[in-house]
Amino acid sequence: MKAQGFRQVNSWLHTWSGLLLGWLLFAVFLTGTLSYFRQEITYWMQPELHASQSRAQTAEQALRAMQGLAPDAASWQITLPSERNPTVRARWYDQGERVTKGGGKSVTLDATTMEPLAGRPTAGGEFLYRFHFELYGMDRTWGRWIVGVATMFMLVAIVSGVIIHKKIFVDFFTFRRRKGQRSWMDAHNALAVLSLPFHFMITYSGLLLLMFLLMPWGIDAAYKGDTRAFFSDRGRIAAPASEPGGSDGAAPVPQAMAPVGPMLEAAHRQWPQGIASISVLQPGRAGSTMELRQKGAETLLNHAAGERMVFDAGSGELKETIRSEVPAAGTSTYNVFSALHRLRFADVWLRWLFFIAGVMGTAMVGTGMILWVVKRLPQKRKGRYHAGHRLVERVNVAAIAGLFVAVGAYFWLNRLLPVSLPGRAGWEINGFFIAWALTLLHAWLREHGQAWKEQLYAIVVLFAGLPIANFRYPDSHLAAAIANGRWTLASMDLVLLATAALAAWAVWYLRPGASAARKSAPAPRPAVQEAAPVQQTAQEAAS
């Protein structure tokens, strides 16, 4: 028997590394792509907040509002409006209260009136973000391990895919229509090559983000398993200058806050992109400080952390400007990859560019899974139909179309569930998984081609219906959003409509008789005669 060559070995590796965890990777890619706009998704899912619009005086008004809401608090933390969320989000801690992530008391304020806004409870984009790297319904460490292993398989599939295509860049400019398996192969290749740098970066950086979990032995040996001490030495955990929730028991000395306008103007002169947040320690007391944090960042070497300006809140005098130090080369490299993966530094245009690349990555994984089925159609026609082929066919439907149905159901439940329902956010998530499970049952019970078409129909109805349902909310629907320049809301509805349109095109392409019509249509004569190409279509692949 002739030994397999290097490319043949990598072809086998590419096929099976992609297939075994392809369904999970598709879900990770899709939810990760949506997570680039997780703040926008959460905002869209709370229509009660959509009347808020930022103004130039918002920061000063927010500080005055906090004086009325929490005059005796130990600290205030105010997140100012941005293009991603035009509301004011405020949090405060009482004297002696321990400062924890998500602790204290919080409120969302209208950026114009400073009136409290009661947004409906929702898991929002945060659920999609968390599912992307730690799944759901299990210990988060196990979830991250599973995603980490799948990411390793993804990296193997990318590298082996490059190796097996010796004409990879030539193949990028080749798309053969109405060629069945070859058409799927061309689509898979084009999607892979066009965003190849993104695919490699996002996969490799994802592994880096999980490396301390996947390879903890160095920390275990050097720090006896004390990860907090390790991250503190690396600079990831910085000791605060003062404990916001602390209290030394001494009677506080009242002191009025200096006019904040000059402090804000000083920050704007130094940071043209603006101020992201304001923190005040011991407001209304002697020794109070105000910290302004820069919006955006100048470098990725420090996790894209911006500068901070610290003022004496009583006098308005600038005490210090804190700039993050550039760490050592190894840590800087890690920070760059981490910032690129999480995209916390990006403006709206770069975020859209990454979103489109993520869509292409999702489609690359999906076309690869479909290609596996299409390549085995000749065996099916000859009666050599393995039970594993049937399993892959059915699970493909639920993993690809079914996941979109689940996302659509998740958004619909956000609109339909009563706002006062106890555990409302949890029911949104439950509905997501119930809908996804039903698509798997449907795919198993229905004929393969019919299952594809019916679930695509469901995508059309769910995604096209959401912008229509939004007309219930005067400040949220597409027409109002465009008229008022609220592109955060408008873009969400437009993406929903684009998804519905793409699914509708797929339904039309798979319509009865479409296969015969495409076969009878004259095809352009090739320059070089090909040797007996297999004439298969997407209609045949779905049957």
pLDDT digits (tens, 9 = 90+) for 102-138: 788 999 999 999 999 999 999 999 999 999 999 999 9
pLDDT of 252 strictly over 90: no
Q: Are 425 and 59 in contact (CB under 8 A)?
A: no
pLDDT confidence of 12, banded at 50, 70, 90? confident
CB neighbour class for 88 (10 Å; exposed up to 12, middle 13-18, buried from 19): buried
The whole-number pLDDT of residue 370 equals 87
Distance CA 274, CA 108 (A): 20
pLDDT of 15 strictly over 80: no
Q: Are 320 and 313 in contact (CB under 8 A)?
A: no
Count of CB atoms situated within 10 Å of the CB of 239 = 6
Cα four-point dihedral sign 191, 197, 203, 209? negative
pLDDT confidence of 415, banded at 50, 70, 90? very high
pLDDT of 58 strictly over 50: yes
If one compares 322 and 406, the residue with the highest pLDDT of the two is: 406
The whole-number pLDDT of residue 265 equals 94
Distance CA 385, CA 50 (A): 54
Which residues face 254 on adjacent strands?
285
SS3 186: helix
If one compares 242 and 362, the residue with the highest pLDDT of the two is: 362
Beta-carbon contacts of residue 150 (< 8 Å; ≥ 6 apart): 21, 24, 25, 28
pLDDT confidence of 205, banded at 50, 70, 90? very high
Cα four-point dihedral sign 364, 369, 375, 378? negative
pLDDT confidence of 10, banded at 50, 70, 90? confident
Q: Encode pLDDT of 291-305 as tens digits.
A: 999 988 777 887 777
Backbone angles phi, psi at 121, to 5 degrees: -60, 130
The whole-number pLDDT of residue 161 equals 83
pLDDT confidence of 329, banded at 50, 70, 90? confident
pLDDT of 238 strictly over 50: no
User: Which range among 33-37, 92-96, 160-164, 376-380 shows the weakest confidence by mean pLDDT?
Assistant: 376-380
Segment 328-337 long-range contacts (CB within 8 Å, at least 24 positions apart): 331/234, 331/235, 332/301, 332/302, 334/208, 335/300, 335/301, 335/302, 335/303, 335/304, 336/300, 336/301, 337/201, 337/204, 337/205, 337/208, 337/209
Tokens of 121: 């409870």
User: Which range among 4-18, 216-230, 364-378 shows the weakest confidence by mean pLDDT?
Assistant: 4-18
If one compares 523 and 51, the residue with the highest pLDDT of the two is: 51
Count of CB atoms situated within 10 Å of the CB of 166 = 9
Cα four-point dihedral sign 472, 475, 476, 479? positive
Q: Are 33 and 362 in contact (CB under 8 A)?
A: yes
Compute the mean pLDDT over every residue in the chain, rounded to the nearest whole number. Answer: 85
Provide the 8-state DSSP code for 364. Answer: H
The angle at the Cα of 81, spanning 76 to 82, to the nearest 5 degrees, equals: 135
Q: Are 63 and 278 in contact (CB under 8 A)?
A: yes
Q: Encode pLDDT of 273-292 as tens digits.
A: 899 999 999 999 999 999 99
Q: Provide mean pLDDT across the span 130-149.
A: 95
User: In percent, how much of the chain has pLDDT > 90?
Assistant: 56
Do the strands 275-281 and 116-117 form a parallel or antiparallel pair, or are they unpaired?
unpaired
The whole-number pLDDT of residue 38 equals 96
pLDDT of 446 strictly over 90: yes
User: Which range among 85-89, 91-95, 377-381, 437-441 shows the weakest confidence by mean pLDDT?
Assistant: 377-381
pLDDT confidence of 239, banded at 50, 70, 90? very low
Do the strands 275-281 and 289-294 form a parallel or antiparallel pair, or are they unpaired?
antiparallel
User: Which range among 146-160, 263-277, 516-530 shows the weakest confidence by mean pLDDT?
Assistant: 516-530
Q: Pick the most confident of 154-168, 427-441, 523-537.
A: 427-441
Q: Encode pLDDT of 385-400 as tens digits.
A: 677 888 999 999 999 9
Instruction: State the pTM of this model.
Output: 0.87
pLDDT of 84 strictly over 70: yes
CA atoms within a 13 Å half-sphere pointing along the CA-CB vector of 272: 1
CB neighbour class for 167 (10 Å; exposed up to 12, middle 13-18, buried from 19): exposed
pLDDT of 247 strictly over 70: no
Q: Provide mean pLDDT across the span 473-498.
A: 94
Q: Provide mean pLDDT across the span 14-28.
A: 86
Q: Give the H or E element holding residue 320.
A: strand 318-322
User: Which range among 377-391, 407-421, 523-537 shows the weakest confidence by mean pLDDT?
Assistant: 523-537
